């Protein structure tokens, strides 16, 4: 008999193979995780949960005919109908089985970290792979710093509902996509509680040398490094042998910390005992470098990576990647490292003589 897919899939279980269930965002997080590129831990509420939600309650039969009636030429038609649909979706209870599955998964995250009411990000993960315009996916919401089981379930529903907001509906109409074709999955991912964070390049940004990894690190969230409000600690690591070649420990005056209660990020002074201390350990540096090397391999190009060390997780799980993109400056330059162009010598002996100032053999 055909086995029904699960409501929950962890990142480790997600990938392109189950794209239809987890959507683009989760598939990519899953592929990265499986390539050894660690991201903050989390799970996906699959599209099956979404479809079961629509079917079990019977609202599917109500809402799609309503959406069909929208006439873009009639002013107010779109906004009023989509508003009505959203009301229906919001009012509809999620079936217990689905709620239980989400709660169980969230509890597992709580258990992993030992943090009660663990803050998570809840985001939608679209399955509209054939849509080139990412703005469609952008309509789907992102909710940060969500805490507690109830709230996670509630925001899951918010993500589902985002499929029916007026802009999403208009987009589908404009491009001629049917409303019931689109399915949505929801990613629930631990918010990073950054002990330290920063930026990593999988080459030396000073000279483009691709045998190095350069890491900047400072206390707290990565904003301080990205925005340049602190002089970060700097490290240069050999990409082949993982030797830490250079370490410059700076005085780090300020750090950004999350104020969960106020749901905002506060900037504050670094306590004296940590100001001049290295913000990252050697083990963390090396783990990060290994991940950096995997990212470069994964994307096939030198990369520029935002990372953090999560204080809630044990090493090495604590070392996570927040964002990675291709490095652009050196990677687009033809002659990468700035080095002397040598004449092609005839043999090793002339090279030895050449080192000592002999002219190259003609």
Partner 1 sequence: MAGKFPNPHEIETIPGTEGWERMYPYYYRWTTKDKEREAYENSMFWFYDGLHYPEPMYPFDIIWDEAWFLALSQNNTRVFIVPPALGVDHRIINGYIYISPVPVPDPNEIPKRAEIFMKRAGYYYQHWDELYEKWKTKMVDTIRKLEAIEFPELPEMEDESIVTNAVGKSSGYELLRKYDELIDLGILTWQYHFEFLNLGYAAYVVFLDFCQKAFPDISLQRVTQMVSGIDVIMYRPDDELKKLAKLAVELGVDGDVLASTDVNALLESLKKTDNGKKWVDAFEEARDPWFYISSGTGWYHHDHCWNDNLNVPIDSIKIYIEKVKKGENLERPLKRLQEERDKITEEYRSLLETDEERQQFDMLLGTSRTVFPYVENHLFYVEHWFHSIFWNRMRQVGAILKDHGFIADVEDMWYLNRHEIKQALWDIVTAWATGTKPYGPLHWPEEVAWRKDVLQKFREWTPPPAVGTAPEKIEEPFTIVLWGITNDTMESWAKAKEAENITDLTELQGFAGSPGRVEGIARVCRSVDEINEIQDGDILVCPTTSPSWAPAFSKIQAAVTDVGGIMCHAAIVCREYGMPAVVGTGHATAAIKSGDRIVVDGNTGKVEIIR
Name the minimum Å distance from CB 294 to partner 1: 14
Binding region for partner 1 (CB under 8 A) out of 41-49, 89-97, 205-213, 262-270: 205-213
Residues 191, 192, 193, 198, Cα dihedral to 10°: -150
Cβ nearer to partner 1, comparing 246 with 274: 246
Residues 333-362 that bind partner 1 (CB under 8 A): 335-337, 339-340, 342, 344-345, 347-359, 361
Q: Does 273 bind partner 1 (CB under 8 A)?
A: no
71, 30 Cβ separation under 8 angstroms: no
Cβ nearer to partner 1, comparing 23 with 302: 302
Q: Does 241 bind partner 1 (CB under 8 A)?
A: yes
292, 305 Cβ separation under 8 angstroms: yes
d(CA 84, CA 74): 16
Name the minimum Å distance from CB 337 to partner 1: 7
Name the minimum Å distance from CB 270 to partner 1: 22
Cβ nearer to partner 1, comparing 248 with 259: 248
Binding region for partner 1 (CB under 8 A) out of 34-42, 255-263, 320-328, 332-340: 332-340
Name the minimum Å distance from CB 226 to partner 1: 25
Binding region for partner 1 (CB under 8 A) out of 68-76, 176-184, 206-214, 303-311: 206-214
Residue indicated by tokens 């002074």: 269
d(CA 281, CA 293): 18
Sign (positive or negative) of CA dihedral 127, 130, 132, 133 = negative
21, 30 Cβ separation under 8 angstroms: no
198, 175 Cβ separation under 8 angstroms: no
Cβ nearer to partner 1, comparing 176 with 335: 335
Q: Does 275 bind partner 1 (CB under 8 A)?
A: no
Q: How far is CA 131 from the centre of its chain?
A: 20
Positions of E strands within 262-330: 264-269, 303-310, 319-326
Cβ nearer to partner 1, comparing 210 with 294: 210
Helices then strands, counting H and E runs in the chain, come out as 13, 13
Rounded to whole angstroms, what are the CA distances from 45 to 10, 80, 136, 159, 290?
9, 29, 20, 11, 30
Q: Does 150 bind partner 1 (CB under 8 A)?
A: no
Residues 276-295 that bind partner 1 (CB under 8 A): 282
Binding region for partner 1 (CB under 8 A) out of 37-45, 52-60, 158-166, 232-240: 232-240
Write out the two tokens for 116: 């009660």
Cβ nearer to partner 1, comparing 174 with 344: 344
Which positions touch partner 1 (CB under 8 A)?
A: 204, 207, 209-212, 236, 238-241, 243-247, 282, 335-337, 339-340, 342, 344-345, 347-359, 361
């Amino acid at each position: 008999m055909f086995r029904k897919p699960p409501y929950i899939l962890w990142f480790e279980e997600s990938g392109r193979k189950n794209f239809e269930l987890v959507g683009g965002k989760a598939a990519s997080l899953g592929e990265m995780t499986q390539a050894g590129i660690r991201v903050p831990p989390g799970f996906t509420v699959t599209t099956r949960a979404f479809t079961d939600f629509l079917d079990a309650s019977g609202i599917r039969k109500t809402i799609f005919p309503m959406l069909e009636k929208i006439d873009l030429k009639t002013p107010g038609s779109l906004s009023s109908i989509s508003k009505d649909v959203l009301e229906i979706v919001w009012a509809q209870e999620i079936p217990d089985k689905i709620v239980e599955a989400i709660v169980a998964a969230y509890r597992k995250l709580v258990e992993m970290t030992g943090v009660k009411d663990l803050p998570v990000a809840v985001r939608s993960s679209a399955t509209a792979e054939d849509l080139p315009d990412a703005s469609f996916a952008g309509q789907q919401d992102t909710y940060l710093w969500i805490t507690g089981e109830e709230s996670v379930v509630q925001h899951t529903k918010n993500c589902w509902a985002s499929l029916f907001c007026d802009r999403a509906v208009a987009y589908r109409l404009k491009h001629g996509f049917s409303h019931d074709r689109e399915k949505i999955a929801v990613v629930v991912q631990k918010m990073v509680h950054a002990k330290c964070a920063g930026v990593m390049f999988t080459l030396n940004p000073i000279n483009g040398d691709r045998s190095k990894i350069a890491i900047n690190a400072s206390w707290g969230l990565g904003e301080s490094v990205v925005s340049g409000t602190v002089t970060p600690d700097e490290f240069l690591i050999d990409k082949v042998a993982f030797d830490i070649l250079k370490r410059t420990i700076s005085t780090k005056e300020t750090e950004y910390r999350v104020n969960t209660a106020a749901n905002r990020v506060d900037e504050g002074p670094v306590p004296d005992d940590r100001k001049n201390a290295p913000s990252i350990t050697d083990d963390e540096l090396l783990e990060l470098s290994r991940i950096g090397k995997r990212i470069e391999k994964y994307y096939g190009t030198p990369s520029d990576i935002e990372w953090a060390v999560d204080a809630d997780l044990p090493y090495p799980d604590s070392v996570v990647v927040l964002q990675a993109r291709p490095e652009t400056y050196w990677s687009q330059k033809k002659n990468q490292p700035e080095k002397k162009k040598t004449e092609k010598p005839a043999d090793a002996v002339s090279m030895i003589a050449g080192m000592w100032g002999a002219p190259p053999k003609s």
